[in-house]
Amino acid sequence: MILTVTLNTALDITYRVPSLRPHRSHRVSEVTERPGGKGVNVARVLAALGHEVTVTGFAGGPTGREVHERLTGTPGVTDALVTVAGTTRRTVAVVDARSGDTTQLNEPGPQISPAEWSAFQDVYEDLLSSAAAVALCGSLPPGVPVGAYAGLVRAARAAQVPVLLDTAGEALRRGIAGRPDLIKPNADELAELTGAHEPLRAAQDARRRGARAVVASLGPDGLLASTPDGLWRAAPPAKVQGNPTGAGDSAVAGLLSGLVEQLPWPERLARAVALSTATVLAPAAGEFDRAAYEDLLGRVTVTGGVTAA
């Protein structure tokens, strides 16, 4: 079983409009609603790849109940979300069909009490006993300690469970001190962490700060990896237009599934880039275009392999 943690779960709402124009009323041509938050999106992609996945984190209020109900109908995904008094947030993505651009609106999430945080930690440590790997994903809701991820990373390492951390800002800065096996920031998040704006230099600096391996997302240009086995670049055969929401989460699913399957780094990176690109081509977060994925998988370019410092 693979465990994904989404402390700030959401109900993802995607609106498609013919053309998004500020200060105007719009007719929505299509609406999609599904459980969201980074770790939930990762879990959905992992399940589609054939892995058994358990999701945990927080859910509460009417939105949280809808998240529970929708997760129940997701094959391969087990719901272990901890119920809280506050209301789970909503995220709204507005997709401009004309340009392909997406505008994202994210609510902050519910206030988590010390008792709720303690209850989650008990559930998390229990789940680690049967996990092959764990992904810690996304932002921290109000009330969760800013150093929370460092403690969760250390608990996974103590249980000898490989751990991937995908967050940003101060949560990443504190979390990397727990020495995760892998972090997956984008280029801006990596620059904010290290102060270095050249991605390779920043990735190597992040490893010195505690991450065993770093895979940096370069957007449509693919991925850069600094690992104990070498330095790698992986790029799609061509840039694509579409909805990028969830593309990074699909990359995480590709990396995590490759870790569990003990694939060599080039194959993990090719899978991650193919999944990420195929997600841009899909209509909603947490989905990927399977035909596009299968076509892309053999056409991703992976270069490198020089021993990393």
Catalytic residue among 12, 79, 181, 249: 249
Tell me what the mean pLDDT of segment 4-33 comes to.
91
Question: What's the pLDDT tens digit per position in 64-82?
Answer: 999 999 998 889 999 999 9
Question: What's the pLDDT tens digit per position in 128-150?
Answer: 999 999 999 999 999 999 999 99
pTM recorded for the entire structure: 0.92
Checking if the pLDDT of 172 tops 50, the result is yes
249 tagged catalytic:
yes
Checking if the pLDDT of 60 tops 90, the result is yes
N-to-C CA span, the chain = 33
